[in-house]
């Protein structure tokens, strides 16, 4: 099947590549000349495990091409995926200007072509957009003289760092359509990825749009909830790891997205929680739980700094802190809304110096902070000249450091572990003379 994917950001590039992998002919479109040149030359603008191999294979097989020519790409396509950015407006609402511009461009290219049956041409909204957007885009398409073009909603549930696996083996595929034939056409496209256990779910566009926001909001809620319990454990002298086991074995609660940390970040949870609140507000509904989730997360991003300040009696000026992990989570170079940045800003504002290490995200941090920070070439290198170690992102390479070496290099043997990565070894660390702070381990 012929597919056009407009927008070669994270979602567009993964979607286009994975659709090519099962034999479709995919043209990815982008209007950023630098990104396009990189992709056309065989490069990849983001770090995502396995994506380089898949892009190469499908490019070489002739199933995956990149172009700046939107009109040419969509004229031959049955499915036109829209995967452009949906930035946040100051009031938390979603800015649809890029989506609308693409829709107008697609209509301009398709207007003169022979009209077919519903399902012959489908604009598939992949970008995360508030409930009601499909309706507005459908009206826009009709106003643009393209009533023969259908508009479907197909939210993505891709986790950065595991996006290929999530696309190829989805928990479910959700599509929102107004016409049965459109659902059938998308069902055919997604058939290679779906099984009885990985169902293809067809619903109304409004429900599909809501599904995406509700899924992210419930996951963000779980995280903020367990973070809150962890903070209470610190105050009460309880251990969040014991408490997690105590509650997580209840099948109704479970363990997933229930690990305390330095607050959730990334391009989705923070933005989608606020987007849902704003969309609800427009409809006259107040989302009290989501508002609290967002507020709790803002506070959580300051918890590590609070522990550091307390330990050093507020005397941070002139001290150097080693920060391990800058990306908002492991296996990505994405630093959007990363808790490490909130911590770094607070440390710098307190007059401290910061020496960082991240396997992939350092270049993105350097682009913003420049020489305000130091960048080590390896984890241990970040400890030289540092007073204490703060672990923010749980990259696998941080799991088992040589603690003898860590102690030797730090001026004060203190570890602030934002992911409870060393919680199981806490008594060894204490025996070795470290002071150890986790999140929710019964100590502020």
Q: Catalytic residues, which ones?
A: 268
- Cα separation, 284 vs 271, whole angstroms: 20
**Which one among 257, 281, 292, 403 touches ligand UDX, defined by CB under 6 A?**
257
Strand partners, 163: none
- Cα separation, 54 vs 20, whole angstroms: 9
* Contacts (CB under 6 A) with ligand UDX, residues 145-184: 156-160
Look-up of token digits 């006259």: 284
Tokens of 260: 């305390």
* In the complex, least distance from residue 118 CB atom to ligand UDX, rounded to whole angstroms: 28
Give yes or no for residue 213 binding ligand UDX (CB under 6 A): no
* In the complex, least distance from residue 437 CB atom to ligand UDX, rounded to whole angstroms: 17
User: Among residues 66 and 398, whose Cβ is nearest to ligand UDX?
Assistant: 398
* In the complex, least distance from residue 386 CB atom to ligand UDX, rounded to whole angstroms: 23
How many chain residues are in contact with ligand UDX, going by CB under 6 A?
Answer: 19
What would the x/- binding string for ligand UDX be over residues 381 to 420, using CB under 6 A? Answer: ----------------------------------------
User: Among residues 140 and 329, whose Cβ is nearest to ligand UDX?
Assistant: 329
Strand order, beta sheet including 388-391? 374-375, 353-357, 320-324, 388-391, 414-417, 435-437
Q: Which of the stretches 176-184, 258-266, 371-379, 401-409 binds ligand UDX when contact is defined by CB under 6 A? A: 258-266
Listed in sequence order, the residues at least 6 apart from 284 whose beta carbon sits closer than 8 Å to its beta carbon are none
Q: What is the distance, to the nearest Å, from the Cα of residue 152 to the centroid of all Cα atoms in its chain?
A: 23
**Which one among 84, 173, 185, 268 touches ligand UDX, defined by CB under 6 A?**
268
What would the x/- binding string for ligand UDX be over residues 329 to 358, using CB under 6 A? Answer: x-----------------------------
**Which one among 81, 269, 395, 416 touches ligand UDX, defined by CB under 6 A?**
269
Give yes or no for residue 55 binding ligand UDX (CB under 6 A): no
What would the x/- binding string for ligand UDX be over residues 226 to 245, using CB under 6 A? Answer: --------------------
In degrees rounded to 5, what are phi and psi of residue 199?
-75, 155
Tokens of 170: 């989805």
Q: Which of the stretches 65-73, 197-205, 216-224, 236-244 binds ligand UDX when contact is defined by CB under 6 A? A: 216-224
- Cα separation, 366 vs 223, whole angstroms: 29
- Residue whose CB is nearest to ligand UDX in the complex, by number: 268
User: Among residues 10 and 312, whose Cβ is nearest to ligand UDX?
Assistant: 10
**Which one among 265, 325, 379, 438 touches ligand UDX, defined by CB under 6 A?**
265
**Which one among 264, 305, 395, 436 touches ligand UDX, defined by CB under 6 A?**
264
Q: How many CA atoms lie within 13 A of 325 on its CB side?
A: 27
79, 212, 414 from 166: Cα distances, Å: 21, 15, 38
- Cα separation, 82 vs 278, whole angstroms: 22
User: Among residues 374 and 420, whose Cβ is nearest to ligand UDX?
Assistant: 420
Q: What is the distance, to the nearest Å, from the Cα of residue 430 to the centroid of all Cα atoms in its chain?
A: 35
Q: Which of the stretches 118-126, 184-192, 257-265, 278-286 binds ligand UDX when contact is defined by CB under 6 A? A: 257-265
Strand partners, 202: 175
DSSP string for 372-423:
GSEE-SSTGGGGTT-SEEEE-S--GGGSS--HHHHHHH-SS-EEEETT-TTG
User: In terms of Cα–Cα distance, which of 245, 275, 277, 226 is closest to 419?
Assistant: 226
- Cα separation, 369 vs 89, whole angstroms: 24
Listed in sequence order, the residues at least 6 apart from 340 whose beta carbon sits closer than 8 Å to its beta carbon are 262, 323, 325, 326, 327, 328, 356, 358, 365, 392, 393
User: Among residues 159 and 286, whose Cβ is nearest to ligand UDX?
Assistant: 159
User: In terms of Cα–Cα distance, which of 193, 101, 103, 197 is closest to 156?
Assistant: 193
**Which one among 258, 289, 291, 432 touches ligand UDX, defined by CB under 6 A?**
258
* Contacts (CB under 6 A) with ligand UDX, residues 76-105: none
* In the complex, least distance from residue 160 CB atom to ligand UDX, rounded to whole angstroms: 3
**Which one among 96, 149, 185, 259 touches ligand UDX, defined by CB under 6 A?**
259
Give yes or no for residue 216 binding ligand UDX (CB under 6 A): yes
* In the complex, least distance from residue 331 CB atom to ligand UDX, rounded to whole angstroms: 9
- H-only helix segments in 253-389: 269-282, 288-300, 303-311, 339-349, 362-369
Residues that bind ligand UDX (CB under 6 A): 156-160, 216, 219, 223, 257-259, 261, 264-266, 268-269, 328-329
């Amino acid at each position: 099947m012929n597919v056009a994917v407009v927008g070669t950001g994270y979602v567009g590039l993964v979607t286009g590549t994975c659709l090519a992998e099962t034999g479709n002919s995919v043209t990815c479109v982008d209007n950023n000349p630098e990104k396009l040149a990189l992709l056309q030359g065989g490069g990849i603008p983001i770090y995502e495990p396995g994506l380089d191999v898949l892009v190469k294979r499908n490019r070489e097989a002739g199933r995956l091409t990149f172009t700046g020519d939107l009109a040419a790409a969509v004229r031959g396509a049955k499915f036109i995926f829209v995967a452009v950015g949906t930035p946040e407006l100051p009031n938390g609402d979603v800015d649809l200007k890029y989506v609308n511009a693409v829709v107008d461009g697609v209509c301009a290219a398709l207007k003169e072509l022979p009209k077919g049956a519903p399902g012959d041409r489908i604009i598939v909204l992949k970008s995360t957009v508030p409930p009601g957007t499909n309706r507005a885009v459908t009206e826009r398409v009709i106003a643009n003289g393209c009533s023969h073009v259908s508009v479907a909603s197909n939210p993505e549930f891709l986790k950065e760092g595991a996006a290929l696996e999530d696309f190829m083996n989805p928990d479910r595929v959700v599509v929102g359509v107004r016409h049965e034939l459109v659902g059938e056409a998308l069902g055919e496209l997604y058939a290679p990825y779906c099984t009885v256990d990985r169902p293809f779910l067809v619903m109304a566009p409004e429900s599909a749009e809501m599904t995406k926001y509700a899924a992210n909001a419930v996951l963000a809620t779980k995280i903020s909830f367990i973070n809150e319990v962890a903070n209470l454990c610190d105050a009460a002298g309880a251990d969040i790891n014991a408490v997690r086991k105590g509650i997580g074995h209840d099948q109704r609660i479970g363990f997933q997205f229930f690990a305390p940390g330095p607050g959730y970040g990334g391009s989705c949870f923070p933005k989608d929680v606020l987007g849902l609140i704003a969309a609800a507000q427009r409809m006259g509904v107040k989302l009290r739980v989501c508002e609290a989730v967002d507020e709790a997360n803002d506070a959580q991003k300051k918890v590590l700094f609070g522990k550091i300040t307390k330990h050093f009696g507020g005397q941070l000026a002139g001290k150097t802190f080693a920060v391990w992990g800058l990306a908002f989570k492991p296996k990505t170079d994405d630093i959007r809304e990363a808790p490490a940045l909130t911590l770094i800003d607070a440390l710098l504002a307190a007059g401290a110096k910061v020496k960082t290490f991240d396997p992939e995200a350092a270049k993105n941090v350097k682009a913003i902070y420049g020489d305000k920070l130091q960048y080590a070439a390896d984890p241990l290198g970040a400890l030289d000249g540092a007073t204490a170690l703060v672990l923010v992102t749980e990259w696998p390479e941080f799991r088992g450091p040589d603690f003898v070496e860590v102690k030797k290099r730090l001026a004060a043997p203190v570890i602030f572990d934002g992911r409870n990565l060393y919680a199981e070894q806490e008594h060894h660390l204490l025996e070795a003379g470290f002071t150890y702070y986790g999140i929710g381990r019964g100590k502020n």
